[in-house]
Amino acid sequence: MEELVILFLFSITLHNLEEALWLPTWSHHASKFHKPVEKNEFYFAVIIITSLAYLSTFFYLLFPNSSLAKYILIGFLGSM
């Protein structure tokens, strides 16, 4: 199971880096129905979400029998 959570961390980091590079520019041309995303606010959100993913993963690795840690990690896995 530890190998899978390490793969999860790699995946979410790679995904968030990719979005941080391309999404702010893309959002300015995407649609007239939403507000364009500025780089700084998106970078802040990506850093917070990625940090929470790492925190929840380390919390699960430290306390593998905690059902709360499992539910939080499963929530991040589901959102990914």
Question: What values do phi and psi take at 7, rounded to 5?
Answer: -65, -40
Buried-state track 5-30, b at ≥16 Cβ within 10 A, e below 16:
beebbeebeeebeebbeeebeebeee
Break the chain into its structural domains and give their ranges. 2-79
Q: What percent of the chain has pLDDT over 70?
A: 100
pTM equals 0.83
What confidence tens digit (pLDDT) does each residue in 18-44 have? 999 998 888 888 777 778 888 999 999
